[in-house]
Amino acid sequence: MSPDYNALTSKQKKVYTAIESFIKLKGIPPTVREIGEMVGEKTPGAVQGILNRLEQKGVIKRELGMARSIKLVLEDSNYVNPIYVPEIKKVSNRNLNDLLNIYNIKTYQPISPDLVKSYENLFIIDCPDDGFNKHFIQLKDMLIISSGCKINSGDIVLALYDNYVLLRQYFENEDKNVITLKTDSSLLDKEIFNKDEVVIVGKLIGKLTKYE
């Protein structure tokens, strides 16, 4: 039998709704203290008691020992559980084979699964250059990269060349030993690369833009 929101008490509904609203606004679950602030409950133990009952009734799930582990499990919830994509500091020759090591991860960004479904090995990184203004990609954007998908001609890719991180549009050539990497403006005065001198790190599948 599916969990039933209508079976909750008024106080339980208040806490559930506060959690749901917080996730919608922030993209992450609230802590016990934040829930208490939202519902006007100053005692952490009282909030924990309500969360325990919500869990017993099957409308939330939690991971033991994790501060932000609340997941909503009601089938009629209006909010999609995000996936958390690691935002990394940099790509370099030194860390190319271990981009997601703990020292290279800044944080985890919540992303709607609908935006990245069918893609694998995702990470987020700051845009490395301003060569794609005509494509409406700006230097202040954060790029969502998939390193687990096939690269086709015309795709925009993140590439590593001589320890330079490049954002380029990828094109294959008749000569299978070379590739073309283009931008809207010339930054390195170089478009033709031997395949053995450049590493295609991944494909651009989306971006996060902050308008100021």
pLDDT tens per residue across span 94-152: 998 899 888 999 888 888 888 887 788 899 999 988 778 777 888 889 999 999 788 99
pLDDT higher at 77 or 86:
86
Alpha-carbon distance of 80 to 35, in angstroms, equals 19
User: pTM of the prediction?
Assistant: 0.64
**Residue at 92: amino acid letter:** S
pLDDT higher at 63 or 99:
99
User: Which of these CATH numbers, 1.10.10.10, 3.30.720.200, 3.40.50.2300, 3.90.550.10, describes 5-72?
Assistant: 1.10.10.10
Judged against a pLDDT cut of 70, whether residue 75 lies above it is answered with no
| Helix H or strand E segment including 60 | strand 60-61
CATH architecture of the domain formed by 83-208: Ribbon (2.10)
Judged against a pLDDT cut of 80, whether residue 80 lies above it is answered with no
Q: How many other CB atoms are there within 10 angstroms of residue 115's CB atom?
A: 13
Judged against a pLDDT cut of 90, whether residue 183 lies above it is answered with no
**Residue at 75: amino acid letter:** E
Judged against a pLDDT cut of 60, whether residue 200 lies above it is answered with yes
Domain residue extents for the chain: 5-72, 83-208
pLDDT given at position 77? 56
Percent of the chain with pLDDT over 70: 92
Judged against a pLDDT cut of 50, whether residue 1 lies above it is answered with no
pLDDT band for position 72 (cuts 50, 70, 90) = confident
Q: Which of the 8 DSSP states describes residue 96?
A: G
pLDDT given at position 76? 55
pLDDT higher at 52 or 2:
52
The three-class DSSP label of residue 190 is: coil
Alpha-carbon distance of 35 to 66, in angstroms, equals 15
Q: Which of 74, 81, 51 has the alpha carbon at shortest distance from 4?
A: 74
